[in-house]
A = this chain, B = another copy of it.
Amino acid sequence: MPNYKLTIAYDGRRYNGWQKQPGSTNTIQGKLEEICGRLLNEQVEVVGSGRTDAGVHAIGQVANVKTNSSILPDELLNGLNDHLPKDIRVKNVEKVNDRFHSRLNAVGKHYSYRIDNGRVADLFTRKYSTRVEKPLDVERMRQAAYYLIGEHDFTSFCTNSGKKKSKVRIIYSIDIINVNGKISIDIHGNGFLYNMIRIISGTLIEVGLGKKNPEEVKDILEALDRSKAGITAPSTGLFLVSVDY
């Protein structure tokens, strides 16, 4: 059965997140399934690598679609972009092995959390970053991030879903880049828990503002207690950059 891998960008602001849900009509997955269904003349499931929350953006979300149609990848790409709203774009379509599963085969993800810490807010990126007025000490943020690298139980850095699943994940790297007050926290890991990037970012922002010491992050991790970590930073600054297979 033909199987297509889609790479998708979207502006999360107008949507109730990636995942189609009963009663929640305006989702990225829902839009994609609607247009795919029309183009392929059959009802299909667009399986994402993972959900993104309401308001979160993507530069390179990955999904796959199985269909009985043998549409050419370029036809599917052009057809989708012709009919999707302009704030969702399919960047690439390729035919893949029918065993490829965008979620089960994902081995890593890159996220980027963007902060505008310039003296004056940048009006051109204000809808795609979180504004922090007071100056952040990026070096302190880097020191704090160091404690998060590696394999840890990230219970303190997730919004508890009430499930008994393992909260152990591996963070391969956290790069904090500052270009004239545009700060991005780039995180690469094998997988992420619910709100994990936003809670890590919120915590690092508090460290950067001097509200927490870098060394406290070690204690927060060990506490296995969400209430010890910082705030959940707003969705507006969060981008799913890419998914590794």
Chain A interface residues (CB < 8 Å from chain B): 9-11, 57, 77, 81, 86-92, 120-124, 126, 128
Contacts and interface: CB of A to CB of B under 8 A. Distances in A.
A238 to B, nearest CB: 13
Nearest to A7: B120
B11 A89 contact: no
A10 B123 contact: yes
B10 A86 contact: no
A89 B121 CA distance: 7
B11 A86 contact: no
B120 A89 contact: yes
Contact of A81 (B11, B87, B120): B120
A9 to B, nearest CB: 6
Contact of A87 (B10, B92, B123): B123
A91 B121 CA distance: 8
Contacts of A122: 9, 89
Contacts of A128: 124
Nearest to A57: B124
Top-8 shortest CB links A-B:
A89-B123, A91-B120, A89-B120, A87-B123, A11-B123, A9-B123, A89-B121, A81-B120
Contacts of A91: 120
B124 A11 contact: yes
A128 B122 CA distance: 14
Nearest to A10: B123
A173 B219 CA distance: 57
9 contacts: A9-B122, A77-B120, A81-B121, A86-B123, A88-B123, A89-B120, A89-B123, A90-B120, A92-B120
Among A77, A88, A89, the most chain B Cβ lie within 10 Å of the Cβ of A89
Nearest to A84: B123
A88 B120 CA distance: 11
Given A88-B123, A124-B128, 19 more contacts: A9-B122, A9-B123, A9-B124, A10-B123, A11-B123, A11-B124, A57-B124, A77-B120, A81-B120, A81-B121, A86-B121, A86-B123, A86-B126, A87-B123, A89-B120, A89-B121, A89-B122, A91-B120, A92-B120
